[in-house]
């Protein structure tokens, strides 16, 4: 499975842009055949840098992560991490909700064992979480 939209902008404030993109079936990882998973293409861009990676989340991790995101969205406090469950990449994105709906987003796209990776950090608000929840929900 992949996200329903070809491109889903999570955040774009003119300086920082974070988005999800669909990954063709042929490029999706099948860690455990028959287990529900979502393969996300995720990208970040600012005026100087652009990077992207693929994250596959599945099984209990997907359910737990969606539950964590819902809790952060509803309570406007808390944190969670998106990361790939296989050994293909060690990219991650951390979401930390501070007071009054201020969201710190930081992470690394690309692997530390590759020649290129991109570390980033920016401030957003809780509106970033709704499209993320929508894209991770599996029917």
Residues in the chain: 139
For 21-72, how does the pLDDT look when each residue is reduced to its tens digit (9 = 90+)?
Answer: 888 777 776 666 666 677 888 999 999 999 998 888 776 787 888 899 999 9
Element (H, E) at 74: helix 59-75
Strand partners, 93: 82, 107
Distance CA 100, CA 20 (A): 25
For 65-80, how does the pLDDT look when each residue is reduced to its tens digit (9 = 90+)?
Answer: 889 999 999 999 999 9
Fold of 7-136: Transcriptional Co-activator pc4; Chain A (2.30.31)
Show the tokens assigned to 120.
């980033």
């Amino acid at each position: 499975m992949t996200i329903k939209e070809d491109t889903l902008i999570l955040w774009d404030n003119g300086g920082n842009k974070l988005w999800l993109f669909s990954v063709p079936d042929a490029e999706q990882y099948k860690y455990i055949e028959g287990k529900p998973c979502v393969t996300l293409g995720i990208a970040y861009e600012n005026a100087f840098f652009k990077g992207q990676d693929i994250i596959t989340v599945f099984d209990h991790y997907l359910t737990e992560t969606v539950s964590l995101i819902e809790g952060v969205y509803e309570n406007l406090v808390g944190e969670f991490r998106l990361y790939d469950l296989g050994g293909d990449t060690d990219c991650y994105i951390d979401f930390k909700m501070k007071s009054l709906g201020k969201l710190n987003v930081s992470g690394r796209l690309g692997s530390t064992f590759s020649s290129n990776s991109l570390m980033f950090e920016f401030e957003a608000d809780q509106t970033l979480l709704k499209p993320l929840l929508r894209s991770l929900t599996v029917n």
